[in-house]
Amino acid sequence: MKKLAFFLLASSIAISTFGQAWTLIWEENFSGNSLDQSVWTHELGTGSQYGLWGWGNGELQFYQAGNSEVSGGTLKIIAKEEPNGLTDSWGNTMYYSSSRIKTDNKFMVRYGKIEARIKTVNGEGFWPAFWMLPSGGSWPCDGEIDIMEQWANDWPTNQTTGAAHIGACPGQSFYQSFQHQSQTGNYASDFHLYGIEWDEDYIAWYVDGVKVYQVSPSSYPTIPGQHSWPFNSNEWYLILNLAITQSGPNSLTAFPSQIEVDYIKVYENNGVLGCKDPQALNYNSLATIGNGSCEYQVTFRVDMNNVSSSFSVPEVNGTFNNWCGNCWPMQDPDGDGIWEKQVTMLEGNYELKFSADNWSISESLDPAWTCTNGNAQYTNRTLVVDENRVICPQWGACTPTCNSIIISGVSENQQKTNALYPNPSFGVFKLNNSSFSSLSIVDVIGKTVYNNPKIKNLNSINLKHLPAGFYQCVLSSEKEQHFQKIQILK
């Protein structure tokens, strides 16, 4: 059993269990009427005492302890105007104040499930964050984990982000990140749950209990050549803050404004998290809990013989490498016009497009084609990574030029350990777990072919209308998501 590594200087911790996979080992409920000084430390000023201008981002606020309040079972971090100004150690005067608190040297953790229930804020210039840094570390080489960041504006705050930063010291930060849209339209109108599940070589982000993003070392094109994965080392502390961006508020921004934090909870896993697929490159035979961390070898091949524009080097760009341009260049060693790039990729759903010479040219795709996302404005290819596979289209077309899908069979006919069985099936699958409330199914090119938000009282699912083949299923409940590959026979 993998244990969560943690370091705590506190008098007591309430311990209870959460579901079947996690044990609560620490929580902060913000009870009482003041911040617990045995857990939290205020960071003050503008960062000038550390040689930073505006905390390294040109932020416009001056942090002080008086802008954080505890009452009614929640923490409030309040941004205020300061008409007389607050002057830092460099003589710079700031006309906004707020608070930033951290648990450094009081509560530190590595690995586990870390989540906070937060109501954020609307208003141009506000930048709330719940994040982590390694104690005693250097930035960016020792890493940064942003669990929740939001950039508010004049409209309701409907997008949240998260990121994992790596890099060299001294040097530039490189990061992988995501943007997730609110299902209710405004993260500031109510409390929402933001969290990560973190294990060796793996971090996944969750919003309101739904997994929205994940990274592993293979997510970074510069690992291992230029940088290392810093998230398996050090002890990490929590940070909460409400910043004012360098561009600042506008005439519509209301002061004072606040974020409100209901609780923070940290869990350790009761089993061994890891990849349970024997065909994955990082299969862990000891894993008892599949955590979506499987990595597969993916070969991209694109036939460029129909391209009339001049080019030098094609490349693969997508959500897996932040559309980085020329960081995944392809090769054509035999000169047959079919260019290739082989990579290791984390399981998941992705979008991609082939381009050349750092986006000098790129594919033109029709959103009506089945290999695309159907988005008329940003038409990209879709890709499901759940096996070792070869992707081999012609430039600007869907039709594969080779046997593009390499998927092994499944043989779970007599096993009821999975949520859907028997597997393979001729189209009717029984449901083994009544706790799941919704089911979504995508085909091998990433197209959603079935979506049912109300399966809680169903005993079986009829999928006879789907063609024979392999599909990826996502079953969701309030507390978890279950991924299962199924095969439909005819």
Task: Report the range out of 276-285, 311-320, 394-403 with the highest average pLDDT.
Answer: 311-320
- Residue 5 pLDDT exceeds 50: no
Q: pLDDT band at 217, cuts 50/70/90? A: very high
Asked if 466 and 428 count as a contact pair (C-beta separation under 8 A), the reply is no
As given in the structure block, the two tokens for residue 373 are 């996302």
Q: pLDDT band at 218, cuts 50/70/90? A: confident
Give the DSSP letter of residue 2. Answer: P
Q: Which of 47, 379, 8, 477 has the alpha carbon at shortest distance from 243?
A: 47
- Rg over alpha carbons for the chain, rounded to the nearest Å, is 24
Give the DSSP letter of residue 55. Answer: G
DSSP 85-104: EEE-TTS-EEEEEE-EEE-T
SS3 content of the chain, % helix, strand, coil (to 5): 5, 45, 50
- Residue 481 pLDDT exceeds 80: no
User: What is the spatial distance between Cα 80 and Cα 101, in angstroms, rounded to a whole number?
Assistant: 17
Distances (CA, A) of 219 to 112, 164, 328, 345, 405: 20, 10, 12, 7, 22
Give the DSSP letter of residue 185. Answer: S
Distances (CA, A) of 234 to 104, 132, 166, 460: 12, 12, 14, 47
Cis peptide before 278 (omega within 30 of 0): no
Equal CATH topology for 295-391 and 409-488: yes
The domain 295-391 is classified under which CATH number: 2.60.40.10, 1.20.1600.10, 1.10.3720.10, 2.60.120.10?
A: 2.60.40.10
User: What is the spatial distance between Cα 325 and Cα 354, in angstroms, rounded to a whole number?
Assistant: 10
Q: pLDDT band at 158, cuts 50/70/90? A: very high
User: What is the spatial distance between Cα 291 and Cα 481, in angstroms, rounded to a whole number?
Assistant: 10
Q: Which of 183, 175, 226 has the alpha carbon at shortest distance from 203?
A: 175
CA atoms within 13 A on the CB side of 416: 4
List CB contacts of 369: < 8 A, sequence separation 6 or more. 398
At 22 the pLDDT is 87
At 329 the pLDDT is 96
What value does the mean pLDDT take over residues 356-383?
Answer: 91
Asked if 318 and 302 count as a contact pair (C-beta separation under 8 A), the reply is no
Give the DSSP letter of residue 417. Answer: S
pLDDT digits (tens, 9 = 90+) for 329-345: 999 999 999 999 999 99
Dihedral of the alpha carbons of 187, 189, 190, 192, in degrees to the nearest 10: 0
Burial class (CB in 10 A: 0-12, 13-18, 19+), 75: buried
- Residue 108 pLDDT exceeds 50: yes
User: What is the spatial distance between Cα 487 and Cα 387, in angstroms, rounded to a whole number?
Assistant: 14
Asked if 341 and 333 count as a contact pair (C-beta separation under 8 A), the reply is no
List CB contacts of 86: < 8 A, sequence separation 6 or more. 62, 64, 93, 94, 95, 97
**pLDDT mean across residues, the chain:** 88
pLDDT digits (tens, 9 = 90+) for 114-141: 999 999 999 999 999 999 999 999 999 9
At 432 the pLDDT is 80
Q: Residue 285 CA to chain centroid, in angstroms? A: 25
At 480 the pLDDT is 67
Q: Which of 277, 288, 294, 405 has the alpha carbon at shortest distance from 345?
A: 294
Asked if 77 and 242 count as a contact pair (C-beta separation under 8 A), the reply is yes
At 403 the pLDDT is 53
At 14 the pLDDT is 32
Matching residue, tokens 């793996």: 202
Asked if 99 and 241 count as a contact pair (C-beta separation under 8 A), the reply is yes
In this structure, of 42-56, 191-205, 236-250, 407-421, the range with the lowest mean pLDDT score is: 407-421
Give the DSSP letter of residue 184. Answer: S
Q: pLDDT band at 15, cuts 50/70/90? A: very low
User: What is the spatial distance between Cα 423 and Cα 349, in angstroms, rounded to a whole number?
Assistant: 22
With a pLDDT cut of 90, the percent of the chain lying above it is: 60
User: What is the spatial distance between Cα 145 and Cα 165, in angstroms, rounded to a whole number?
Assistant: 7
> Nearest-5° angle of CA 192, CA 45, CA 255?
50
Measured in degrees and rounded to the nearest 5, phi and psi for residue 97 equal -130, 155
As given in the structure block, the two tokens for residue 338 are 């079919």
User: What is the spatial distance between Cα 78 and Cα 154, in angstroms, rounded to a whole number?
Assistant: 18
448-456: long-range pairs with CB below 8 Å, 24+: 455/431
Burial class (CB in 10 A: 0-12, 13-18, 19+), 166: buried
Query: Which is it for the CA torsion 274, 277, 279, 284, positive or negative?
Result: positive
Q: How many other C-beta atoms lie within 10 A of the C-beta of residue 368? A: 9
As given in the structure block, the two tokens for residue 318 are 């997508």
Whether the model clears a pTM of 0.95, i.e. scores above it, the answer is no
- Residue 17 pLDDT exceeds 60: no
Q: pLDDT band at 202, cuts 50/70/90? A: very high
User: What is the spatial distance between Cα 414 and Cα 21, in angstroms, rounded to a whole number?
Assistant: 25
Distances (CA, A) of 72 to 41, 226, 263: 21, 49, 12
With a pLDDT cut of 70, the percent of the chain lying above it is: 91
Where are the domains positioned within the chain? Answer: 5-269, 295-391, 409-488
CATH class of this structure's domain 5-269: mainly beta
The third-level CATH classification (topology) of the domain covering 409-488 is Immunoglobulin-like (2.60.40)
323 vs 288, more confident? 323
